[in-house]
Amino acid sequence: MVMKSRSCRCCLSVVVLFVAGCLFGGCTSAPTGTSDLAVDRVVLYQSGVAYVERSGEASGEDLVLRVRPDQINDVLSSLVVIDRDTGAPATVSLPARASEPEQSAIAEVAGEKGMEAFLESLRGADVRIHHDGSRTRGRVLAVESSPPRLSLLVDGQSTRFIDLGSIDEVELENEAVALRVRQSLDESMSADDWQSVEITLRFPSSESRRNLVVAWVVEAPLWKPTYRVLMEGDDIVLQGWALVDNLSGEDWRDIELSLASGTPLSFRFDLHSPIEVDRPDMSGYGVPQAVDLRPPDPMRARPQPEPSPQDQAEERSGIDLSGESFGRVGGLGMVEPEPSADSDDRVASAGSGADVEQLDALFRFDITGQVTLPDRSSTLVTLVNESVDGQDMLVFQPGSGASENHPYRSLLLENSTDAPIQRSPVAIYRDGAFVGEGITPHISPAERAVLPYAIESRVHVSRDHITSYGESSLTGVEDGELKIQHDRHRVWRFELASSLSEDDTLYVQVPRYEEFELIVDDELDVRREDDFYLVPVDLVAGTERSEEIVQAGPVSKSIEIFHSEAPVLLKEALERPDIEPDVARDLQAVLEALEETRKLEQALSDDRQLRSDIRERSKELRENLQALGDGDQHQELRGELAGRLQEQDELMAEVAARVVENSEKRSALRIEIQELMRTLSL
């Protein structure tokens, strides 16, 4: 390697030239160029990777492939090489990546610190310096700033100082150092000016020609779908496009292009960087040592071996590695489908859509014909172009977006194609005019979705709802509790005002609940979706009107036997003609006990009220007696009040005794009722 410098004391720009030398240790026969193995198939995935396949004929023992530096790890983890004729294996060679200390030391070449910084990074390296018309060979000792000069160790014995301004060229005599400088320059280049890394495939013997397939999976931009809907009358055509970006660093010319929906797992893994393992220092083995009383370190788990590049390629891409089928599957192992016929002239004019195949959760779009994508370019390719089922309609979706009181012009789109419709923007055209834009959700084949695309401000809608409950009925007796059911009604009220010039139909959205049934005429064109109903109502031009939509559903719950509704429900059950005699007898006993309990509870309530009145009267009498004092002039009145107080105390004692007695009776009846209910099943 030679570095030349202008004659200046502190040079800020350098030119690096590499002298003859093999990239790998030792020279081999001239390798075959990569032009014979051009890219002929690419599959782009929505997980941020691309399957890239090359095929062609090559001769000789070596084949050189060139890839971007940032793709090295992906290539190492997924590279597969197939000799279709002999199946002969290949070994792979590439420049080793410098360790972190070497990278940081040599990285000065990537900066703008001039000759001084570069020579400092070469400390210890063997160099040949061209200066002042002569050459000096030695090892770099140091670079001094003041004065700016280079110190060289010459012949391993003496030191020579060379003025930096007099240096014309620097030759690196150590190939390993030159290689690290070159790698550092490669990695420091911008993405637009990347320098390729050479990967050499070596085969065990020299053949006149080899029929090879080489493929790998590398990081790539996502392909992005976009759709158009063309409506003319009742006819609807769906056009789907995909925006594909080629940032691979090379042109893709006349390739087979496939786009896969779905997200197979993919990740980054650094295989290129060397990993150094700490080794034990046994220098003192056999020499008496002081006893080390520290506890041992915890045991480390043995790491699992990494899968081979071929295993990873199969796992990530589903590639069939056998024979001719390898070059055709494009990473998905599927048979090419028959192309579908165009449905009408409008479909034919836009070009045929891609052929579609499904593999588990993945869908693959095989783009019709060969595609050319220059490097650093984007291209739109056709995914789908065919007639589909659908209906243009007015839909009121409260709380769904920009409009709370106006409906949307919407498209009920049914995916009658063989592939899913991706989440993407969709442009809507009617009779050749743009009428709005929407967003498609993910729509699987045979599914449908409502796509709002414009607000209809000439229609005003307000919505309200109420909930009411009907009468309860007994449905059973279980575990001592009554099972009851009553009807619940939810009424949706819509106030509609239309200033349209013509009558129209408005579909109002009503939430869908499993426990509710929509009460509508069977002949009404109700659209039943997973989470909601679309119920049609008439819009009369230039008028205002109201509309009610009713949902009804039973509500079940359990109540205890002492609930206030229990006696009424039991009496209704006794009136049923199909009730069994034993059950009727037990129900009658429960009813009689409940009636007796009700009377006792009423008596207890009356006595508690009487007891409260007696307390108030007694309190009043005591206050009056205290107010009269002990004087002789009110002895007669005090006697009368004292007599009344004694009567109240006697009455309080009678009431208290009655409350205790009735409470005990009520408790006994409740226990009797509970025991009867435990044996009762209805």
Q: Which residues contact 494 (CB under 8 A, 6 or more apart)?
A: 396, 461, 462, 463, 508, 537, 546, 547, 548, 549
Choice among 39-53, 132-146, 269-283, 612-626 with the minimum mean pLDDT: 269-283
> Which tokens in the block code for residue 446?
């045979």
45 pLDDT above the threshold of 50: yes
Whole-number CA gyration radius for the chain: 46
Mean pLDDT of 467-480: 81
**CB atoms inside a 10 Å sphere around CB 116:** 19
110-119, 137-146, 325-334: which is most confident: 137-146
Least confident of 31-35, 267-271, 528-532: 31-35
The mean per-residue pLDDT over the stretch 155-171 comes to: 87
Q: Model confidence at 221, in pLDDT bands (50, 70, 90)?
A: confident
Phi, psi of 643 (to 5 degrees): -65, -45
**Given pLDDT bands bounded at 50, 70 and 90, which one contains residue 191?**
very low
Taking only the tens place, the pLDDT of each residue in 645-661 is 999 999 999 999 999 99
Comparing 576 with 278, which gets the higher pLDDT? 576
Q: Is the pLDDT of residue 3 over 70?
A: no
Q: Please give the pLDDT value at position 501.
A: 92
Indicate the average pLDDT of the chain.
77
Q: What's the distance, CA 594 to chain centroid?
A: 60
% the chain with pLDDT above 70: 76
Is the pLDDT at 12 greater than 50? The verdict is: no
Q: Return the structure tokens found at 77.
A: 């983890």
Give the Cα separation of 596 and 114 in Å (integer): 109
What per-residue confidence (pLDDT) applies to 43? 92
Identify the residue whose tokens are 């399957």.
51
The confidence score (pLDDT) of residue 387 equals 92
pLDDT over 60 (residue 343): no
- Exposure string over 627-650, b if 16+ CB within 10 A, otherwise e: eeeeeeeeeeeeeebeebbeebee
User: Is the pLDDT confidence value at 157 over 80?
Assistant: yes
Q: 626: pLDDT confidence band, cut at 50, 70 and 90?
A: confident
Confidence of residue 206 (pLDDT cuts 50, 70, 90): low
Q: Which residue has the higher pLDDT, 654 or 476?
A: 654
Question: Which of the two residues, 111 and 497, has the higher pLDDT score?
Answer: 497
- pLDDT for 90 equals 79
**pLDDT at residue 249 in the model:** 78
